Homo-oligomer: A and B are copies of this chain.
Amino acid sequence: MNYAGKRVLVTGGLGFIGSNVAVRLAREGAAVTVLDSTVRGCGANTHNLAPFSAQIDVINDDIGALSTYHSSVVGTDVVFNLAGEISHINSMRDPVRDLELNTTSQLRFLLALRDICPGVKVVYASTRQVYGVPQYLPINESHPINPIDFNGIHKHAAASYHRLLTARGELDATIMRLTNIYGPRMALNIPEQGVLGHFFRRALNGEDIEVFGDGQQLRDPVYVDDIVEACLLAGEQKALPNTNMNVGGLEALPLAEMARILVAEAGSEVRFRPFPDGHKSIDIGSFSTDNSFIREILGWAPTVPFATGARLTLEYYREHREHYLP
């Protein structure tokens, strides 16, 4: 990696992926600025970067207000644009909030960014959710876009801004379509932030894990260190040949199997229950990722099996529990 001395900006840098990216970049010797609005419910946690306060500069503000702190962004070499609300279920409860957080703020941010840092490299975190219910598995980048929740519509609109501004030569964006990610620094106390955080919280509390339906839906979880590696590799490359890139896991596992791995560590049990109201309609069934494109272009492949990543994750939270499950 070639980040020593580079100026990098990480939006959403107090959140799960953002903080892991920021910490890794600081270790690589980059000059890291984090921009995070700490919107309630989006996963920001000041402890995520607290041990690194000497190396990482944190600005607490909405990304949509970028023009007001212009000077701290001038000269940025790479932007890791990881701010956003990831909750599908919250987006159904309050679509207007989701639009503001994921689309309007991103538009304002990108318009300011292209003026302040024309042509700058941007790595944007999109989501597998834009594909909707899979028409085939594993999913590659040419699968139709059919999101089945507002979150997917809004994240796709923001990705389209990145694509459009890149086609016009005003930015140089790569759009990473991320599958389920887990690992240190994820929010555990926000049920709407996804099934894996919920599973880990139950395991850490020694509680049984509830699985909706029969739990046979496949997911291909990625350990966050693998995602960080993919983001940093993408951030080093100029003008990649396609703006969209799937980033999926090493193995596709049933949700019930992930739950079993975790209860084995926790000494508890898996319990099955019907989907609650509101969840079934936005469930996409099974999902797995075709990683051929990112492997070819960046030489990246996931390396951490879920059983290993789960153990590493539980170790982190046992050590830092008071900051995540107070």
Contacts and interface: CB of A to CB of B under 8 A. Distances in A.
Interface stretch (A16-24, A104-112, A253-261): A104-112
A312 B154 CA distance: 42
Interface string A75-116: 000000000000000000001100100011001100100000
A107 B111 contact: no
A111 B103 CA distance: 17
B164 A147 contact: yes
A160 interface: yes
Interface in A121-161: 145-150, 153-154, 156-157, 160-161
A84 to B, nearest CB: 15
Contacts of A99: 103-104, 107
A168 to B, nearest CB: 6
Given A96-B108, A111-B95, A164 B150 contact: yes
Nearest to A64: B96
A71 interface: no
A104 B145 CA distance: 21
A164 to B, nearest CB: 7
A65 interface: no
A153 B161 contact: yes
Contact of A157 (B96, B108, B148, B153): B153
A167 interface: yes
A108 B150 CA distance: 13
Contacts of A145: 145
Copies in the complex: 2
Interface residues of A, number: 25
A147 B157 CA distance: 11
A104 B104 contact: yes
A281 interface: yes
A96 B107 CA distance: 7
A161 B147 CA distance: 10
Contacts of A161: 150, 153
B164 A160 contact: no
A168 B107 contact: no
A71 to B, nearest CB: 22
B147 A167 contact: no
A95 B158 CA distance: 12
Given A96-B108, A107-B96, A148 B167 contact: yes
Contacts of A95: 107, 111
Contacts of A153: 157, 160-161, 164
A99 B111 CA distance: 13
18 contacts: A95-B107, A96-B108, A99-B104, A99-B107, A103-B103, A103-B157, A145-B145, A146-B163, A148-B164, A148-B167, A149-B164, A150-B161, A153-B157, A153-B160, A153-B161, A154-B157, A156-B157, A168-B281
Interface of A: 95-96, 99, 103-104, 107-108, 111, 145-150, 153-154, 156-157, 160-161, 163-164, 167-168, 281
